[in-house]
Chains A and B, each alone.
Chain A
Amino acid sequence: MRECKIVSRKFDIKNSHTLEVARLHDGYRTLQKLQEYAPTEIIQIIKDANLRGKGGGGAGAGEKWELMPQNSDKLSFLAVNCDESEPGTFKDRQIITKDPHLLIEGILITCYAIKAHHAYIYIRGEYKQYQDILQFAINEAYEAGLLKECDITIHRGAGAYICGEKSALLESMEGKRGHPRLKPKQKEPEWFFGNPTLVNNVETIASVPFIVQNGADAYREYGTQKSPGTLLFAMSGHVEKPGVYEAEFGTSMMEYIKYYGGGIKNGKKLKALIPGGVSCGVLTAAECENLTLDYESLRGIGSSLGTGGMILMDEDTNMVEVLKNILEFYHEESCGQCTPCREGTGWSDKLVGKILEGNATKEDIDKLLDIANTMNGKTICVFAPAVSSVIVSFIKKFRDEFEDRV
């Protein structure tokens, strides 16, 4: 388990959030590279490095950057997604409080590459404390003359998980309700008031300085062939030492939990694990034995890596209660725009509630699977398919716990 600090290099340094300390540790050094490379060359480096988006989707960042026009009479924008609301995920918060200047550096390089001159950081409303630290860093950057080519504005959300979806984020920034947009038929950039806009996660942007400074090959030294680089994995729940610890892709899941997390709390045994924020299918302890932390490995077992925020559950956990808790979250956060999601999240929440109370029948369990099927692939965004996969995974792997209660 080797140390890989691409994004978390300065996390343990005192006052790492200040410009002075950042500069002492090579902060903004990469800006010199912008004299050497043209914008399209920077995009090529990112593509060669196969930097994958760290907001939960894992799509290639370079390909997304390529969709932005290099010659347009419209203004281009960058929107940094800091709406981190996926339960189990708390990694972007570390970056903006412990190394905000790394994020700013990444923003400057990205804006240079996509020819944008204004970046917005959409931050969730509940992160006000951390927003203040980020704003302080941005003010320092303005005073030091670093933001002459590119303005940065923080845009505060107000409590909606769905605004982490990239088109809903832009709707929210346009002053409307956070309703995800209908997806276009061909590949095109996102639009902010009709202007082409790139939406990337905080950690994705924070990874850019290392890649441009050291080259694509240096980045690919870490991780696996298809999932290169690192991710700020996290652990929470029944683990001895919860927290965020950067590791390279391909690390063995159990080793990671033992090394960084100290194993399960109170010496108990692992029963179930949710790998990457609540929207990923649940795994049994047995399934986790030989898993490695990368996108391919988890897709192979029918789940997904998501944001890498693992939630660990010990042997005494009641899985029906866990599913109820998760469905309450989805019920609360559905935007309500399209029928299958709006009604499906409410109804499945109530059904699991009935199962928990002991008022349900066997047909209700089948009904749950039926609702999950209706929510899959028939909605405007991927919120409902995520709910669907969660419900299916819980019932498939812990069906006996559900049937015990009917």
Chain B
Amino acid sequence: MSEMVYVIVDETTYKAKEGSLLIDLLIKENIKVPYFCYHESLGADGNCRMCMVEIEGQKRPQIACDTLIKSGMKVRSKGENIQKVRTDILELELINHPVDCPICDQAGECSLQDFYMDYGLHNAKVTIADKVKHSKHVDLGSNVMLDQERCVLCARCTRFTDKITHTHELGIIGRGDDAKVSTMPGRKLSNPYAMNVVDLCPVGALTSKDFRFSQRVWFLQTANSICHGCAKGCNIYIDHNKIKYQDDVIYRFRPRRNDAVNGFFICDEGRLSYKELQENRQEEIILHDNIITEDEALEQIKNLIQEFKNNTIITIDANLYNEEIDAIVAFAKKIDAKVYSPLEIYMDEAFGDDMLKSSNRAANAKKIQNSNIRTETPAKTGLLINFNHPQKFEADETINFATHKGKQASLTLPVAVYSENSGTLTNEDGLIQTCQKAVFKNNPTPTIIEYLIRLSS
């Protein structure tokens, strides 16, 4: 059992666990120290030498990522000496770095840029002709682009494929300043979590091919949300932007750290699932191939409910929010309809793995189970009101509340996807997590609850 001890950093006292890493304390207490190669999920590598701090009693500055907390330790992270060390090492990082900022996707979220503004601000002393040249825009596969010249050789990406995915595709080859990141000749980066290296890379060496040249990151707005790809409920950031005269568009998902759920990473499929939120959406209200207005649709629904009294079934998509499911269950009670949510269709054994991916593809299956909703397929019924469930059901008349095109029905109404609404989900471990509304469309699609309110009036 290691005990908590006191250490002093820049004349302020902090409590930390004896034997833990100094850099963890610095990060936790927001004491600004630059670093490239350290990452909490990958451990320390000690190769970038940027996180140097002065420790009383030690002649030379020490790297914080390799220093263990000892009781009474006195650390100095600011001051002229340590500033010079950082500036000098940063200068060396930059001498072979290409001046790509104008075309580099990482600009705005680049560690080199940030550290240069904090510790550099010097003029280049090496001409571009003298810089070491390597390969640029190499397609590694799995939507990852590599630019070897921009690399600072922090080895985060190689340690990721070594220690986290155990797939060993990436490595540093060569020696000295000819060292570069690569895959084996003819072999590609290929594992279900490959795109996480794009987030890990502190500079623009590894970038997303999917996001390439799409948007400058300082224009993006960020919302906290949860991926709906499976029952794991990995935490994500939704990055979106509304360009003038156009609509609010999602440009990418990024993983959001949650040590209780997904740690630092998300799977590639979940990362790219933003696309389906913006493609093939149901736009209009259709009744028997004709576009009608919302008032007409609501009228039609009320008539059908009346007509098929005691012969109505409601089906619910297991990806809807907790609040939506509760509202639908209440509505079902009011109109005396039975509620079903067949869960079999969401199971995909091939998808699940022992890392993050769950073989249950429904984001809110737990809520369905907790709410005592029937999970078997219902028999043929008179009226079926389907709230976005993917399965095809048998009924005389069907009303579909659908996010996407493609379902055959008498009456189809478009509903908002989860990014256009806020709510909570329950993941497979029973954790309730919140999604913020991210996208504010010019002509917003109504949410399910909005429809239900109008139907009740």
Contact = CB atoms under 8 A, between A and B. Distances in A.
Q: Are chains A and B touching directly in their complex (CB below 8 angstroms)?
A: yes
A396 to B, nearest CB: 20
Contacts of B174: 336
A38 to B, nearest CB: 36
Interface stretch (A218-226, A289-297, A338-346): A338-346
A344 B176 contact: no
B125 interface: yes
A174 interface: no
Contacts of A350: 130
Given A338-B46, A342-B179, A346-B132, A374 B153 contact: no
Contact of B125 (A331, A336, A367, A380): A367
A374 B86 CA distance: 10
A215 to B, nearest CB: 38
B177 A335 contact: no
Contact of A378 (B52, B91, B95): B52
A217 interface: no
Interface string A302-326: 0000000000000000000000000
B46 A182 contact: yes
B177 A334 contact: yes
A101 B26 CA distance: 55
A337 B47 contact: yes
A370 interface: yes
B174 to A, nearest CB: 7
A176 B176 CA distance: 16
Contacts of B66: 182
Contacts of B126: 347
Nearest to B88: A374
B390 interface: no
B176 A336 contact: yes
Nearest to A367: B125
Contacts of A251: none
B176 to A, nearest CB: 4
A331 B47 CA distance: 18
B175 A336 contact: yes
B89 A340 contact: yes
Interface string B120-157: 00000110001010000000000000000000110000
Interface string B172-204: 101111110000000000000000000000000
B68 interface: yes
Nearest to B178: A336
Given A182-B66, A185-B68, A378-B61, A336 B95 contact: no
A373 B89 CA distance: 11
Contacts of B50: 339
Contacts of A379: 49
B93 A343 contact: yes
Interface string A344-363: 11110010000000000000
Interface in B288-336: none
B177 A345 contact: yes
Contacts of B89: 339-340, 374, 378
Interface in B88-131: 88-89, 91-93, 95-96, 125-126, 130
A185 B126 CA distance: 37
Given A185-B68, A377-B60, A339 B93 contact: yes
A343 B88 contact: no
Contacts of A336: 153, 172, 174-179
Interface string A231-272: 000000000000000000000000000000000000000000
**A-B pairs, 4 with minimum CB distance:** A336-B179, A346-B177, A343-B92, A374-B88
Interface of B: 46-50, 52, 60-61, 66, 68, 85, 88-89, 91-93, 95-96, 125-126, 130, 132, 152-153, 172, 174-179
30 contacts: A160-B175, A182-B46, A333-B176, A335-B176, A336-B153, A338-B46, A338-B47, A339-B48, A339-B50, A339-B92, A339-B93, A339-B152, A339-B153, A340-B88, A342-B153, A343-B95, A343-B177, A346-B96, A346-B176, A347-B95, A367-B125, A374-B85, A374-B88, A374-B89, A374-B91, A374-B92, A378-B60, A378-B85, A379-B49, A380-B46
Interface of A: 160, 177, 182, 185, 331-340, 342-347, 350, 367, 370-371, 373-374, 377-380
